[in-house]
Amino acid sequence: MSMRAVAVYPSQRQVRIIDHPEPKIESTKQARMRMLEVGICGTDKEIVSFDYGIPPEGCDYLVIGHESLGEVVEVGPGVSKVKPGDLVVPTVRRPCPHPDCVACRQGRQDFCYTGDFMERGIKQRHGYMTELVVEEERYLNPVPASLREVAVLVEPLTIAEKALAQLWDIQKRLPWITPGDGRGRNVVVLGAGPVGLLGAMALTVAGFNVTVYSRSASHEDRDDIVSAMGANYIAAETHDVEQMANAVGRIDVVYEAVGASSLAFEVVKHLSPNGVFIFTGVPGRKGPIPVDTDLIMRDMVLNNQIVYGTVNAPPECFATAIRDMGAFVERWSDAVKRIVTGRYPIENALEHLSGKGGGIKNVITISHE
């Protein structure tokens, strides 16, 4: 039996909808899912431009898709965490094989040391933009049915959740900060794409005063979504970085979600004492740019500042993302739903993967209930 899947053939520089063999449960701890929705992100766009992405060993194509929502249809006899009918969001990264990678050996492949991890839909493992998927139960995160409409946003939200978990760990260095409580502190979110907007929501739920600074070519509903959550929206078209920083006041945290390094290093100069700058964007490699490194290093030392990058997320962060998503829906149901600007059938996947469609988050609907 075969099923439809969206696949990239890097060696032929082609992206096609193909017939792909249906996966079967092969061990007692596996579950089979019917995929409902798969989101498209910047990583997918890079993969279909052949800048990123590696097919599984011995296969000339990679089935793409890593932001997903599935419904369990069948479980192996050893599965207890999920049952048929449950909604689930699977994690993306799988451990490297090296015995001395302590991170992977402890199930924290999001911190893999060797780089030999695999990622579903990205690196050496087929992804989720297809009809049926089989996975180990430990990689599945159950989602309440009440989140059906927004659960496809859980995976991109896990980026903010992992960033926040680390932020609280780092700020334990300041004894007056209560982990989890951002009240009275200002955060600037750079970028109003899905990662920026979802990050802004998570930061708002944590109590921070949030300002989203964006130079989105089209503002679409982005500023409305930001105001709905009670955060400020500042457009780069009307405020340069200096003016934005003056409007915000003390910048305790920057959550970068655009992948534009020149902008990031401009903003770093405005970080407050004891401030933290979080990178989540992956810039495309352009030429080198001039940056005043003496000034930045001097400020960082004299102000006890921290800059860190963060990628991927462990199951704990999927759990907090699912919990926060529930809080978002309770508070700003409309705004969260508006992050998904379009849902399209698999036949239209190619045009949206190429980025021609516009919108904030485009989602491929694989099957309906």
- How far, in Å, CA of 143 to CA of 34, rounded? 14
Mark residues 211-250: x for contact with ligand BGC by CB under 6 A, - for none. ----------------------------------------
Interface with ligand BGC, residue 93, by CB under 6 A? yes
Nearest to 125 by CA among 113, 139, 111: 139
Phi, psi at 6, each rounded to 5°? -95, 120
CB of 98 to Zn ion, least distance (A): 6
Is residue 125 within 8 A of residue 118, CB to CB? The reply is yes
Structure token pair of residue 161: 């959740």
Interface with Zn ion, residue 87, by CB under 5 A? no
Which is closer to ligand BGC, CB of 177 or CB of 201?
201
Query: Which of 6, 48, 112, 321 lies at the binding interface for Zn ion (CB under 5 A)?
Result: 112
Interface with ligand BGC, residue 280, by CB under 6 A? no
Which is closer to ligand BGC, CB of 22 or CB of 50?
50
Query: Which of 17, 56, 108, 114 lies at the binding interface for Zn ion (CB under 5 A)?
Result: 114
Query: Which of 69, 72, 89, 92 lies at the binding interface for ligand BGC (CB under 6 A)?
Result: 92
SS3 call for 367: coil
**Any idea which residue has 């994690």 for tokens?**
91
Interface with ligand BGC, residue 109, by CB under 6 A? no
E strands, the chain, in order = 2-9, 14-21, 30-39, 62-63, 67-75, 87-90, 93-94, 118-120, 124-125, 132-136, 140-143, 186-190, 209-214, 232-235, 251-256, 271-279, 306-309, 340-345, 361-365
Which is closer to ligand BGC, CB of 66 or CB of 222?
66
Interface with Zn ion, residue 190, by CB under 5 A? no
How much is the CA Rg of the chain, to the nearest whole Å? Answer: 21
Kindly identify the residues of this chain, within the stretch 202-261, that bind Zn ion according to CB under 5 A: none
Interface with ligand BGC, residue 122, by CB under 6 A? yes
CB of 311 to ligand BGC, least distance (A): 5
Query: Which of 96, 202, 248, 349 lies at the binding interface for Zn ion (CB under 5 A)?
Result: 96
Under DSSP, the state recorded for 79 is -
Interface with ligand BGC, residue 312, by CB under 6 A? yes
C-alpha distance from residue 64 to each of 10, 15, 212, 327 (Å): 12, 10, 30, 30
Interface with Zn ion, residue 118, by CB under 5 A? no
DSSP states of 150-210: TGGGHHHHHHHHHHHHHHHHHGGGSTTPPTT--TT-EEEEE--SHHHHHHHHHHHHTT-EE
CB of 156 to ligand BGC, least distance (A): 7
Which is closer to ligand BGC, CB of 32 or CB of 93?
93
CB of 175 to ligand BGC, least distance (A): 33
The site for Zn ion (CB under 5 A) is made up of 96, 101, 104, 112, 114
